[in-house]
Chains A and B, each alone.
Chain A
């Protein structure tokens, strides 16, 4: 059965997250810094009256910071009881992939030092990385 993914870019890399985990895609909203949070937490935003934490993927993926552009988006993710926004540079597509197209990431590359990624998809000649959400966002496993 094909699975639906939201495809997005951070700097020069392309990533995909299962659309079941994506609640909404938002334009950039003001983000308020919160003291004592991990450094990759940009802060929190006021999303229609709810307070949602926002993770800065540039910091988390340890890549160069760039200013927000017209294309920047916040993807609001839901994982178990957690609702977390992630800031990305561009959301390019929402696409179905067959399960056979999804490969284990370690088969492809052993260079994933961060261990944030489980799977990879080759979409044409573009390599799309699929993160392990709890690892990427540092959500404690119960």
Chain B
């Protein structure tokens, strides 16, 4: 088998099965008697073993085999799923995962040693361990009870069973189509009771050149041979009669309902779980292609904006109409690309149950993880980046948040602490909350630390709200934990979380109540590449203000602006005083338009709960703009999150409101 070609598929499918195992192991962890979970794990590990074998990843296969043996014993109630056994299985899963990622990056298995784990796994088995000599799936000699039963019944009714091995010519182009014709031909006079690989795999061209079928028919061997030979592009055919108890080469679980007596011509498909069925309705696309696709769509939007600008000058109704239509099409196209790139947050959420389980075992805290909104969708590139910050917050919640069981009981709380992970949509944002019902953040302790470290004076602290004090936690090197543990508290942390989230265009806030717990609220944009923005001019320069941070636009008269201690000007917005920022000064432009004593166009923007008024020269328009990164060289300019190219080719910078005010 040409390994190169199948490697990617192997990696993807094995990953899916490992994910599935992980989920089912967690189910088993909460309910050790969950038979369905055991069966699921068994099926997954069995498939992994088979695939690893056929790809000649012998170490993976060996480990998978040992795990399969343990699962088999579990399935047959010979052993029970104790937490210790589950630890071993989880370890095995980790090793398989790391082997797989090694295969993914290098094409070869890692040289991880896991003899100890193998021994421990085998020690769990009742009696002597089963032979560790390996059987690969492709040559598997296990006798399938189902096929035997069917063959016996058929023989009694005068049918004979044949094993047919078909090899297609190596230059055969449409392998699955050829195989389909073979199936169709056979179905005219026979009943196909099993196929290897499965009918579904054959249909999806997931086979090399040959396949094996077991059929029931009253026709003689020669007739079968001739009929198949009429199909073109076949290299060889072998037909063997199968007598009872000799059926071979069938290892996949077949449906138990048996064969239909009415001789329906429907091909029995092997039941291999829902995943396979889902795959047939979707295709895998390389993420790079999607990125290219999106870039092209983005360029198209820039060009559209440009054509729109030109069209406005032409005063031609036909042209305007065509442009308007094109405008709608490009918007739809872009929405579609975005939707294609959206993936459920579950992609990162699904590893947290395991992490929380491990953490609760190491910290000896009892913790329940409650998740919701796993199907909330967000751009793929954001999801990938969210993993680390979320792990960090969850570790914090377990380590700093939730108390030890004794302590909780003393406080009159349930012994088991709850860590919550909730995702939901809020307008153009996705919100993810990480909460715990632990002791909450000790504001006094934070304040003391902040003063100690010279971040604020005692007087300043007195004027601050609790939320403001708590946000000191996001400063680099700030930790209130008295004990540095393995898990967290080394003082590197929340600042990294904040930086990461902000680099993705999101925000993070913290809310805390003593003894009621802490909640971190992460707010992310749905997508990174295109946003709606208000274009404004300051002097001769054009800037874009993201629409989702704009509260309102006001005309401010000069006498409405007051100044505090001659430093900061303020204005009145909905009866609170907010900072008033003259953008021409802030941006150091050569504009003097705002200095003239007249009404100032002011955009009120929001940063978390805080507002500020930005005085600009003029408003241009609201537009969909494509965000282009400034690049690494200018990454020190925090107030500008990127640039966009306007219809006329001019560059406009996009404000990062979080840093600007």
Q: Mark B77-120, 1 if CB is under 8 A from A, else 0.
A: 00000000000000000000000000000000000000000000
Judged by a CB distance under 8 angstroms, whether B172 is at the interface is no
Pick the residue among B299, B541, B631, B633 that contacts A32 (CB under 8 A): B541
Q: Can you list 7 A-B contacts (CB < 8 A)? A: A32-B653, A45-B651, A51-B629, A51-B643, A53-B634, A83-B631, A83-B633
Q: Mark A32-44, 1 if CB is under 8 A from B, else 0.
A: 1111110001001
Question: Which residues of chain B are near A132, meaning CB under 8 Å?
Answer: none
Q: Quick one: given A53-B630, A82-B632, are A32 and B639 in contact (CB under 8 Å)? A: no
Interface size on A, residues (CB 8 A): 22
Contact A50 B628 (CB under 8 A): yes
Least Cβ–Cβ distance between A137 and chain B, in angstroms: 7
Judged by a CB distance under 8 angstroms, whether A128 is at the interface is no
Known contacts A45-B651, A51-B645, A137-B633; 5 further A-B pairs (Cβ under 8 A): A44-B630, A49-B302, A50-B628, A53-B631, A83-B633
Judged by a CB distance under 8 angstroms, whether B314 is at the interface is no
Contact B633 A84 (CB under 8 A): yes
Q: Which of A13-69 contact B (CB under 8 A)?
A: 30, 32-37, 41, 44-46, 49-53
Contact A33 B541 (CB under 8 A): yes
Least Cβ–Cβ distance between A22 and chain B, in angstroms: 16
Question: Which residues of chain A are near B302, meaning CB under 8 Å?
Answer: 49
Contact A53 B633 (CB under 8 A): yes
Q: Which of B603-636 contact A (CB under 8 A)?
A: 628-634
For A31, the closest partner residue in chain B by CB is B651
Q: Quick one: given A34-B637, A34-B640, A36-B637, are A52 and B631 in contact (CB under 8 Å)? A: yes
Complex: A5 Cα to B634 Cα, angstroms: 27
For A41, the closest partner residue in chain B by CB is B634
Contact B587 A35 (CB under 8 A): yes
Least Cβ–Cβ distance between B365 and chain A, in angstroms: 39
Judged by a CB distance under 8 angstroms, whether B255 is at the interface is no
Closest 10 CB pairs of A and B: A32-B651, A35-B587, A51-B628, A51-B643, A36-B637, A53-B633, A82-B633, A84-B633, A81-B632, A53-B634
Least Cβ–Cβ distance between A30 and chain B, in angstroms: 8
Question: Which residues of chain A are near B299, meaning CB under 8 Å?
Answer: 49
Judged by a CB distance under 8 angstroms, whether B650 is at the interface is yes
Question: Which residues of chain B are near A32, meaning CB under 8 Å?
Answer: 541, 650-651, 653
Contact A49 B645 (CB under 8 A): yes
Complex: A139 Cα to B634 Cα, angstroms: 10
Least Cβ–Cβ distance between A136 and chain B, in angstroms: 12
Which residue numbers of B lie inside 8 Å of A, CB to CB?
299, 302, 541, 587-589, 628-634, 637, 639-640, 642-643, 645, 649-651, 653
Complex: A33 Cα to B542 Cα, angstroms: 11
Complex: A87 Cα to B302 Cα, angstroms: 27
Complex: A85 Cα to B628 Cα, angstroms: 17
Complex: A73 Cα to B588 Cα, angstroms: 28
Q: Give the one of A35, A44, A46 with max B CB within 10 A.
A: A35
Complex: A34 Cα to B538 Cα, angstroms: 12
Q: Quick one: given A51-B630, A53-B630, A81-B632, are A44 and B588 in contact (CB under 8 Å)? A: no
Contact B639 A35 (CB under 8 A): yes
Question: Which residues of chain A are near B645, meaning CB under 8 Å?
Answer: 46, 49, 51
Complex: A45 Cα to B630 Cα, angstroms: 10
Contact B632 A44 (CB under 8 A): no
Contact A51 B651 (CB under 8 A): yes
Question: Which residues of chain B are near A37, meaning CB under 8 Å?
Answer: 634, 637
Pick the residue among A46, A49, A51, A137 that contacts B631 (CB under 8 A): A51
Pick the residue among A35, A52, A84 that contacts B640 (CB under 8 A): A35
Question: Which residues of chain B are near A46, meaning CB under 8 Å?
Answer: 645, 649-651
Question: Which residues of chain A are near B637, meaning CB under 8 Å?
Answer: 34-37
Question: Which residues of chain A are near B633, meaning CB under 8 Å?
Answer: 53, 82-84, 137, 139
Question: Which residues of chain A are near B634, meaning CB under 8 Å?
Answer: 34, 37, 41, 44, 53
For B639, the closest partner residue in chain A by CB is A36
Contact B640 A44 (CB under 8 A): no
Complex: A81 Cα to B387 Cα, angstroms: 24
Question: Which residues of chain A are near B639, meaning CB under 8 Å?
Answer: 35-36
Contact B651 A82 (CB under 8 A): no
Least Cβ–Cβ distance between A39 and chain B, in angstroms: 11
Question: Which residues of chain B are near A137, meaning CB under 8 Å?
Answer: 633
Contact A44 B643 (CB under 8 A): yes
For A50, the closest partner residue in chain B by CB is B628
Least Cβ–Cβ distance between B655 and chain A, in angstroms: 10
Least Cβ–Cβ distance between B512 and chain A, in angstroms: 34
Question: Which residues of chain B are near A33, meaning CB under 8 Å?
Answer: 541
Question: Which residues of chain B are near A81, meaning CB under 8 Å?
Answer: 632
Question: Which residues of chain B are near A35, meaning CB under 8 Å?
Answer: 587-589, 637, 639-640, 653
Least Cβ–Cβ distance between B342 and chain A, in angstroms: 25
Complex: A41 Cα to B639 Cα, angstroms: 16
Question: Which residues of chain B are near A53, meaning CB under 8 Å?
Answer: 630-631, 633-634
Complex: A70 Cα to B606 Cα, angstroms: 47
Complex: A53 Cα to B553 Cα, angstroms: 32
Question: Which residues of chain B are near A30, meaning CB under 8 Å?
Answer: 649-650
For B638, the closest partner residue in chain A by CB is A36
Question: Which residues of chain A are near B631, meaning CB under 8 Å?
Answer: 51-53, 82-83
Least Cβ–Cβ distance between B275 and chain A, in angstroms: 38
Question: Which residues of chain A are near B651, meaning CB under 8 Å?
Answer: 32, 44-46, 51
Least Cβ–Cβ distance between B652 and chain A, in angstroms: 8
Question: Which residues of chain B are near A44, meaning CB under 8 Å?
Answer: 630, 634, 643, 651
Question: Which residues of chain B are near A41, meaning CB under 8 Å?
Answer: 634
For B649, the closest partner residue in chain A by CB is A46
Contact B628 A36 (CB under 8 A): no
Least Cβ–Cβ distance between B531 and chain A, in angstroms: 16
Least Cβ–Cβ distance between A43 and chain B, in angstroms: 8
For B298, the closest partner residue in chain A by CB is A49
Complex: A36 Cα to B640 Cα, angstroms: 9
Least Cβ–Cβ distance between A34 and chain B, in angstroms: 6
Least Cβ–Cβ distance between A87 and chain B, in angstroms: 15
For A29, the closest partner residue in chain B by CB is B649
Complex: A104 Cα to B651 Cα, angstroms: 41
